[in-house]
Amino acid sequence: MPTWDDRQPIYQQLADLLATQLLDGHPEEGAAMPSVRVLASQHLLNPLTVNRALQTLSEEGLLENRRGLGLFVTPGARERLRAAERQRFLSHEWPRLRERLRLLGITAEQLEWEGRTA
């Protein structure tokens, strides 16, 4: 169970958690998302908070509402999410990480990449 913090709204934290799960392929594209009640119970959250998180993912084009059936992961959602996360990493996280490595005097040769040591 995640620990919610005060840095951003809980619905956004849940949306981020669910997006990470989508990146991992859970649920798969075309599959149904767990219901609001199930997610609220799993994460001990108000159903309105869960609904807002799911609405956020829907607005990002990752989920689609099938009337009377629930929310489903849209085809291509995983790749769209991966592309957006890749861009966010390269524009926000990587520059800070690169600067931190520079400050610590860590070179590319000293880094382990995918189980291989330089």
Q: Which two tokens stand for residue 9?
A: 């709204």
Per-residue pLDDT of the chain (118 residues; tens, 9 = 90+): 778 999 999 999 999 999 999 999 999 999 999 999 999 999 999 999 999 999 999 999 999 999 999 999 999 999 999 999 999 999 999 999 999 999 999 998 898 877 655 4
CATH number at residue 113: 1.10.10.10
> In terms of residues, how long is the chain?
118
Taking the C-alpha atoms of residue 42 and residue 31, their distance in angstroms, rounded to an integer, is 19
Find where tokens 């991992």 sit: 24
At 112, the amino acid letter reads E
What's the domain count of the chain? 1
| Spatial separation of the C-alpha atoms in residues 59 and 44, rounded to whole Å | 24
Structural domain harbouring 92: 1-118
Say what the pTM is: 0.82
Q: Under DSSP, is residue 71 helix (H, G, I), strand (E, B) or coil?
A: strand
Strand, coil or helix: 61: coil
Going from the C-alpha of 57 to that of each of 5, 11, 60, 62, the distances in angstroms are: 20, 11, 5, 5
